[in-house]
Amino acid sequence: MTVDHRVDGGAAITAGRPVVVQLDGVTKRYGSVLAVADLSLDIRQGEFFSLLGPSGCGKSTTLRMIGGFEGPSAGTISIRGKPSNDVPPYKRDTNMVFQQLALFPHLDVYENVAFGLRAKRVPSPEIGPRVDRALDLVALGPFARRAVRSLSGGQQQRVAIARALVNEPAVLLLDEPLGALDLKLRAQMQLELKSLQRRVGTTFIYVTHDQIEALTMSDRIAVMNDGRLEQIGTGREIYERPKTPFVAGFIGDTNLIEVVRREPGRYATPDGALSLELPDAGDRATVSLRPERLRVGTAARTCAQRAAGRVVDAVYVGADVQYVVVVGSTRLTVKTRSDQVFEAGEDLELGWQGSDPVVLGVSNR
Amino acid sequence: MSAATTSTSQPRRAWGWQELGRLTPAITLLLPSTVLMLLFLGALIILLSYTVRPSATLAHPLTLSAYGRFFSDPYARLLTRNTLLLGGIVTFGTLIVGYPTAYALARLRSPRLVLLVSLALFAPLLVSVVIRAYGWLVLFSSKGLINFVLQKTGLIHEPLRLLYTPWSVEVSLIHILMPFMVFPIFSVLRQIDISLEEAAHDLGSGPWQTFRRVTVPLSLPGVIAGIQIVFSLCISAYVSPALLGGGHVLVLAPAIYQTMIDIDWPLAGVMTLALLVLSLLVLLALNFLSRRMFTHEQLGRAGTVPASSRHPAAYAWLALVAAFMILPIAIVIIDSFNAVAYSVFPPPGLSLRWYAHLFTALDWKPALRNSLIIASAAGVIAVGAGTLAAYAMARYVAGGREFVRAVFFGPFLVPRVGIGLAFFILMLKLHLYGSLVSLILAHAVITLPFAVAIMAAAFVAVPRVFEECAMDLGAGPVRTFLSVVVPQVAPAVLVSLVFTFVTSLDELETSLFLVRPGNQTIPIAMLTYMFQYQDPTIAALASILVGVSIAAVAAVVFLIRRGRFASTLAASVSER
């Protein structure tokens, strides 16, 4: 199944704006290891764009190639329409917020932020106001003369962002910048980052392995796996219409069901116990059915499609119950509100709506 | 997709101008140190070429007669055997004393106490080898402290003859080389994760068994490093055998100097080669052994809280070793106030006459001036070249790092007397013999390995991300190096400057071959004076130098403490 990822995901609010970063067939090899394979992307002006995938999927390498720290083995990276493969980082119109922050320990907050301006020989009368504005943007104005080590993790994070943004880059690159923060601070910084991005209007390219983080902040998400692009689109598209088993499994939990066609529009598991009505998709298909889309008991009876199963495991997770149900030889995870309770070993009825199962393409490789 | 296909189909050459361009920074950074290394290699090659000459003055015909003389001469065989024996005994002695010391020190809980004991152990390094040997001379003399104590306690009635025996040479070398054994073992012991020992205890192994089966095996890399350093320094030591052996301890290093004086350069060259081969053989054998033994790496993180013990025996042992380390220096200071012209304990009276004598009767100024000029210039050259080389190694020459490192450590492997002989001949050829330049270059070569080692360790601790970040913010390579990298390694630069300065100031074995009478350095002037007179004038000078050294160390400790915040933050950031 071939998908042109370039036009895919056009539903984003930034569609139609000028392209800031363009990757065209970008490949990166380390010896015999293929880190990034034939990646093509357009990232548009003012977009919050996330590269999402498990560790080792090539997302950080991609970001580092955009920043100029690695050269592509093949393909072209263009920034504002200018092919930039051989432009060193210090001559690129990009700035990076590093995972390790890399705040210079021998400089105070102000000097850290001023570093880029001084390096670019911005006239000194301009430096003061620009640094002040950048620090105000991240609410660190009063901390200008503090040593960076005296700041909290969240504050250090904001210094790193101000230090990058003060240079007014065409695109801001963020390499899992929230990875070192604790969960609560992280959630708060996600919202702050998103609102900051809306205010300054700079294009953000954000690398993360955390699907919730990507869903929370991004205008568009590119899901990567094993150096390849799996799918690109808005968070909703990727969650609700995953194109590959990998995307379906990586973004949220799902049941992946292998089915064969019985008659036009009707598919079933090989043992026939679970049957689904689907739009026609060939002789065999993989179907994603989200656990929270499945209904049980009385709620299942109103559903358009149903199956009978037996509970093998029930786990109470506060307001929800998570069941493992077997339908014939198929194991399904079901997540539902805990108003009607079934015990392990009980029979129950499962139901879903016709639009719930998503037919997945062959994984993109 | 068409653009992608064209760029993939472009053939990439494996090697070309682009790759050479990528290497330009590394080549530039390695240039100054390469010049020094070429000088060193050139000197060695010239020395080698002299070993196949009939004599110092005759270039032809090529002959192996010097080798023949070395291998057939019973005296040369005696020298070789004594050298090996001395190396073995001293290495064994430092290990026996040094291991428990390193262990007790590594397990001290109070940082203040660790600092205090470390100072006692390592401060003697800052005191000239000549002074330390002189301290033992005073201690071992027939009316010295040791004979005094033994007689007072009634153990002996007649003073023992301690001086000018192999024994006195061995003890003084054990004293001089002790820090080189303690330090590597200490640093390895400090890194052993406490949980490994806890796990051993948990699995039912008692303290002794845990020590034997867990701690000792894990600390062996440090032991091997210690043995390598101590052995190679010991067999090339000149001062102790020459001064405390009194002509009775016949080993290679002083013999090489004597042979050079006798203008038998070919034989001196062969003897140097023999010393080098002995040193390399032991080094390589131990390297082989350690590679066979330690393929394991400690899993997980090193313990943040080092294990500690408060056993009284540990304190007693540390106090004893500290006393042993301090004693020869303390006795020199006491001796400097001695009222009489010979070494006696206790001094019959106190006086400042030797200080007066130092400033009136003798002119130390030319020697002091020479020493300061040489040490400053050599220090700046070695640290400058070493810093650039270490940076190139840390960042650019990933593949050839081991090779580059091995090359830079050459001057450390070749015995100092050998470097002296080689540079002596080279400088004669270059018409630089007797000049300060010859000494500056030789000292820069000798101290380069230390500068490279210290700076390489410092650069490893600076995460690469700082440089990437600076470049990302628009700073070019030079600006990045100067404004981001150098400030973070400033403490290490300071440490290597002090280290190279002190090493040069104290350098004797190489300088011996390069100075011309009347144009001496401080250690050589002291040694010469000591060979001629045995009065405490030298003690007065030594006391002043000890005072200066202590002040210098205090200043460095102060400066590093002030600058420590930078490295602390760098460490905390790199932990993320």
Q: Are B520 and B434 in contact (CB under 8 A)?
A: no
In a domain, A136, yes or no: yes
Q: For B193, what's the count of Cα atoms within 13 Å in the CB-facing half-sphere?
A: 11
Contacts of A91 in chain B (CB under 8 A): 474
In a domain, B161, yes or no: yes
Domain identity same for B97 and B38: no
Range of the domain at A23: 19-243
Domain identity same for B393 and B430: yes
Q: How large is the average pLDDT for residues A222-241?
A: 92
B18 contact A CB<8A? no
Q: What is the pLDDT along chain B (576 residues), one digit of tens a residue?
A: 333 333 443 444 445 555 566 678 888 888 999 999 999 999 999 999 999 988 878 777 888 888 998 999 899 999 999 999 999 999 999 999 999 999 998 888 778 888 888 888 887 777 888 888 889 988 888 888 888 888 888 888 888 788 888 889 999 999 999 999 998 898 888 877 777 777 777 777 777 777 777 788 888 888 998 998 899 889 989 989 988 888 888 999 999 999 998 989 999 999 999 999 998 898 888 888 877 765 554 444 444 445 566 678 889 999 999 999 999 999 988 888 888 877 777 888 888 888 888 888 777 888 889 999 999 999 999 999 999 998 988 887 666 667 777 777 788 888 889 999 999 999 999 999 989 999 999 999 999 988 988 888 888 888 888 999 999 999 988 899 989 999 888 888 988 898 899 889 889 989 999 998 778 898 998 888 888 887 888 888 888 888 887 887 788 777 777 655 444 444 443 333
In a domain, A319, yes or no: yes
Contacts of B476 in chain A (CB under 8 A): 90, 119
Domain limit, last residue, from A243, A272, A291: A243
Domain identity same for B177 and B204: yes
Say how many domains are in chain A. Answer: 2
Q: Do A167 and B474 touch (CB under 8 A)?
A: yes
- A→B contacts (Cβ < 8 Å), by residue, are 24-27, 38, 40, 67-69, 73-76, 88-92, 94-96, 98-106, 115-116, 119-120, 147-149, 163-164, 167, 179-180
pLDDT at residue B360, as a whole number? 82
B367 by DSSP, 3-state: which?
A: helix
Alpha-carbon distance B573 to nearest alpha carbon in chain A (angstroms) = 6
Domain identity same for A209 and A314: no
In a domain, B66, yes or no: no
Q: Do B573 and A167 touch (CB under 8 A)?
A: no
End-to-end CA distance of chain A: give it in Å, rounded: 10
Q: CA nearest B11 in A: which residue?
A: A74
Q: Do B474 and A98 touch (CB under 8 A)?
A: no
Contacts of A120 in chain B (CB under 8 A): 474
In this structure, the strands spanning A48-52 and A220-225 are parallel
Q: Are A38 and B4 in contact (CB under 8 A)?
A: yes
In a domain, B299, yes or no: no
Task: Report residue A93 CA to chain centroid gap.
Answer: 24
Domain identity same for B189 and B329: yes
Q: What is the CATH number of the domain that holds A78?
A: 3.40.50.300
Stated as kind and residue range, the H or E segment containing A255 is strand A255-263
Token pair recorded at residue A53:
């995938």
Q: Do B473 and A76 touch (CB under 8 A)?
A: no
In a domain, A92, yes or no: yes
Q: In this structure, is the dihedral angle defined by the CA atoms of residues B236, B36, B27 and A104, taken in order, positive or negative?
A: positive
Q: What is d(CA A155, CA A139) in angstroms, rounded to the nearest whole number?
A: 9
Q: Are A229 and A364 in contact (CB under 8 A)?
A: yes
B13 contact A CB<8A? no
Q: What is d(CA A118, CA A90) in angstroms, rounded to the nearest whole number?
A: 12
In a domain, B147, yes or no: yes
Residue B61: cis peptide before it, omega within 30 degrees of 0: yes
pLDDT at residue B344, as a whole number? 77
B360 contact A CB<8A? no
Q: What is d(CA A114, CA B83) in angstroms, rounded to the nearest whole number?
A: 62
Domain identity same for A148 and A217: yes
Mutant choice from A5, A95, A98, A117 vs B, greatest count of B C-beta within 10 A:
A98
Domain identity same for B404 and B536: yes
Domain identity same for A308 and A171: no
Contacts 24+ apart (CB under 8 A), B300-303: B300/B193, B301/B193, B302/B191, B302/B192, B302/B193, B303/B192, B303/B193, B303/B194, B303/B195
In a domain, B4, yes or no: no
Res. A333: pLDDT tops 60: yes
- Residue appearing with tokens 């889309």: A293
Domain identity same for A237 and A316: no
Domain identity same for A294 and A174: no
Contacts of B573 in chain A (CB under 8 A): 100-103, 105
Say how many domains are in chain B. Answer: 2
Domain identity same for A286 and A234: no
pLDDT at residue A47, as a whole number? 93
Q: What is the CATH number of the domain that holds B203?
A: 1.10.3720.10
A170 contacts: CB under 8 Å, gap ≥ 6: A20, A21, A79, A80, A93, A94, A203
pLDDT at residue A59, as a whole number? 94
Domain identity same for A232 and A146: yes
Domain limit, last residue, from A243, A261, A279: A243
Domain identity same for B105 and B195: yes
Q: How large is the average pLDDT for residues A167-195?
A: 89
Domain identity same for A38 and A77: yes
Residue A12 pLDDT class (50, 70, 90 cuts): low
Res. A3: pLDDT tops 90: no
Q: Do B569 and A149 touch (CB under 8 A)?
A: yes
pLDDT at residue B20, as a whole number? 60
Q: CA nearest B477 in A: which residue?
A: A90
Share of chain A above pLDDT 70, in %: 95
Contacts of B462 in chain A (CB under 8 A): none
Range of the domain at B253: 88-293+310-344
Q: Do A90 and B475 touch (CB under 8 A)?
A: yes
Q: Do A99 and B576 touch (CB under 8 A)?
A: yes
Stated as kind and residue range, the H or E segment containing A317 is strand A305-317
Token pair recorded at residue B476:
């070019």
Number of CB pairs, chain A paired with chain B, less than 8 A apart? 116
pLDDT at residue A363, as a whole number? 42
In a domain, B35, yes or no: yes
Domain identity same for A197 and A271: no
Q: Do A101 and B573 touch (CB under 8 A)?
A: yes
Q: Are A178 and A98 in contact (CB under 8 A)?
A: no
Q: Are B238 and B176 in contact (CB under 8 A)?
A: no
In a domain, A13, yes or no: no
Domain identity same for A169 and A99: yes
Q: What is d(CA A69, CA A88) in angstroms, rounded to the nearest whole number?
A: 7
Domain identity same for B340 and B379: no
Q: What is the CATH number of the domain that holds A302?
A: 2.40.50.140
Domain identity same for B328 and B230: yes
Select, from the ranges A208-212, A251-255, B377-381, the one with the highest average predicted confidence (pLDDT): B377-381
Q: What is d(CA B284, CA A125) in angstroms, rounded to the nearest whole number?
A: 62
In a domain, A9, yes or no: no
Mutant choice from A64, A70, A100, A101 vs B, greatest count of B C-beta within 10 A:
A100
Q: What is d(CA B542, CA A65) in angstroms, rounded to the nearest whole number?
A: 61
Q: What is d(CA B317, CA B335) in angstroms, rounded to the nearest whole number?
A: 27
